[in-house]
Amino acid sequence: MALNLHSPLKLISLICFFFPAISPVMSLNYPAVFNFGDSNSDTGGIVAGKAFPLIPPNGETYFLKPSGRLCDGRLIIDFLMEAWELPYLNPYLDSVGSPSFETGCNFATGGSTISPANAASVSPFSFNLQLTQFFRFKKKSLELLKDHEELQNYLPAEDYFKQGLYMFDIGQNDLDGAFYSLKSEEKVLALIPKLLSALKYGMKKLYDSGARNFWIHNTGPLGCLPRIIASFGKNPSDLDEFGCVISHNRAANVFNKKLHDEVCVNFMTQQLPEANCTYVDIYSIKLDLISNYSEYGFQQPLAACCGYGGAPLNYDTMIPCGVTKDLNGTKVTASACENTAEYINWDGNHYTEAANRFVADSILTGNYSDSPHLRIDTSYFT
Ligand SMILES: *[C@@H]1O[C@H](CO)[C@@H](O)[C@H](O)[C@H]1NC(C)=O
Ligand SMILES: *[C@@H]1O[C@H](CO)[C@@H](O)[C@H](O)[C@H]1NC(C)=O
Ligand SMILES: *[C@@H]1O[C@H](CO)[C@@H](O)[C@H](O)[C@H]1NC(C)=O
Ligand SMILES: *[C@@H]1O[C@H](CO)[C@@H](O)[C@H](O)[C@H]1NC(C)=O
């Protein structure tokens, strides 16, 4: 159901009728969502595009089988789509079956970077390629719709490209990879301006093609991932009071501050004057969750639910989630914890569905964003 809620009067009556206990953000109304990103928002792209073998127990909590998501269930973007009453986004790269893209398309792929991919990259589908995929998708959709009315339930109408929401959640892998390859925080920080220029370039191209609603997730506390703690947190002085790696979280903060000030505020107001930018502070939501985990009903702030090795991190680089390996003649498996809802981290690199739900719920309060879209006129609700 695509509600058109542009008129406040209509909005009030619809709310009273359909949603007696409505949350304010239900008043958001996008006919379609186009998403660019990495595994944090990949709903099946890398699995389709690279035939990446995603195995159980991925998907065990919600889809009850691997769903193309690196998670036991839904991602943040799935919960947002639910709240906006839109179907989950199908991946651009998944051609098997007859996926509908009428209300949006997902270009995100696990492992993707803002920097152009090279032969060593996990994902060849870096941001520049995701953009060219989008432009091909748009052109082809509009061409097909001209001659094939029957495809309107499968492809976004021209208006949807104008009124749609353009979401971005990318950059984490650039910082992550740079710490391994450059081995110096200073050199990692020096990369950031280039990353932001590439983002701005892409956003300008989208704007020139008619995009007006931009929604940007900043990058999370990279230094709190079990893999990063295992590799870079061997010395207690590398860690902060929550047990997270200081250098990585500092780099994430520098990236985020510039993403906010330079991209979402300066660049957008000067170069994309007719567009709106919603900047969502994922970092603060996740750090709040990790540091106050027990108040939010979790028992494990850092350890991976699905991993091998036991406390404190339950993470072993050589034995990823779901994999069985021979260790000195003994077969060991990185299996899932009993109750995934007690864990924030799923597999050492990604969050559990329970954590993703917490993050999405926090986003939807509007308390963590700088946003024209989430600024609520409370007079509608009194
Ligand atoms: C943890 O919760 C306290 C109390 O609500 C809050 O002041 C603090 O900012 C939270 N920690 C983080 C990192 O958000
Ligand atoms: C496997 O054997 C090696 C060499 O004896 C030893 O260093 C290592 O700790 C063993 N690993 C496990 C998991 O038992
Ligand atoms: C948003 O933040 C305000 C001020 O800190 C707080 O009073 C309110 O409860 C928060 N709203 C939600 C829905 O969490
Ligand atoms: C987005 O920006 C335009 C132009 O600045 C403005 O007219 C419009 O109301 C904004 N939309 C929202 C949802 O704030």
Q: Which of the ligands is closest to the CA of residue 310?
A: 2
Q: If pLDDT is split at 50, 70 and 90, which confidence band does 372 have?
A: low
Active site residue 184: no
Dist. CA 34–CA 279, nearest whole Å: 16
- Ligand 4, from 84, 272, 276, 377: best to mutate by most atoms within 8 Å of Cβ? 276
Per the annotation, the verdict on 39 as an active-site residue is: yes
Which SS3 state, helix, strand or coil, does residue 330 take? strand
Tell me how far the alpha carbon of residue 75 lies from the centroid of ligand 2, in angstroms: 37
In the reported structure, the alpha carbon of residue 345 is separated from the centroid of ligand 2 by a whole-number distance in angstroms of 27
Spot the catalytic one: 316, 347, 362, 373: 347
Q: What is the largest CA-CA distance in the chain?
A: 70
Q: What residue segments make up the domains of the chain, in order of their start?
A: 292-364
Q: Identify the sign of the CA torsion 220, 224, 226, 229.
A: positive
Residue 370, H or E segment: strand 369-370
Pocket of ligand 4 contains residue 373 by CB under 6 Å: yes
**pTM across the whole model:** 0.90
Cα 18 to ligand 2 centroid, rounded to whole Å = 61
Residue 174 known to be catalytic: no
Q: Which of 316, 318, 324, 328 most suits a substitution to test ligand 2, by most atoms within 8 Å of the C-beta?
A: 328
Nearest to 89 by CA among 70, 72, 110, 68: 68
In this structure, which residue's CA is closest to atom 6 in ligand 4? 274
Spatial CA neighbour of 28 closest among 382, 294, 379, 365: 365
Angle between helices 172-182 and 185-208 (to 10 degrees): 150
Ligand 1 centroid vs 296 CA: distance in angstroms?
11
User: What confidence score (pLDDT) does residue 10 get?
Assistant: 35
Q: Among the options 112, 350, 369, 373, which is catalytic?
A: 350
Q: By the 8 A CB rule, do 289 and 296 touch?
A: yes
Stronger pLDDT, 372 or 85, i.e. the higher one: 85
pLDDT in tens, 15-46: 333 333 344 444 578 999 999 999 999 999 99
How do residues 307-318 score in pLDDT, each as one tens digit?
999 999 999 999
Query: How many whole angstroms separate alpha carbon 296 and alpha carbon 290?
Result: 9
Mean pLDDT over 71-92 rounds to 97
Residue found under tokens 């007719």: 274
* Position in ligand 3 atom list of the atom nearest CA 365: 13
169: its two tokens: 């959640």
Give the distance (Å) from ligand 2 centre to CA of residue 319: 14
| Atom number, ligand 4, closest to the C-alpha of residue 372 | 14
- What residue's CA is closest to ligand 1, atom 13? 288
Q: Whose CA is nearest to atom 13 of ligand 2?
A: 327
pLDDT digits (tens, 9 = 90+) for 304-359: 999 999 999 999 999 999 999 999 999 999 999 999 999 999 999 999 999 999 99
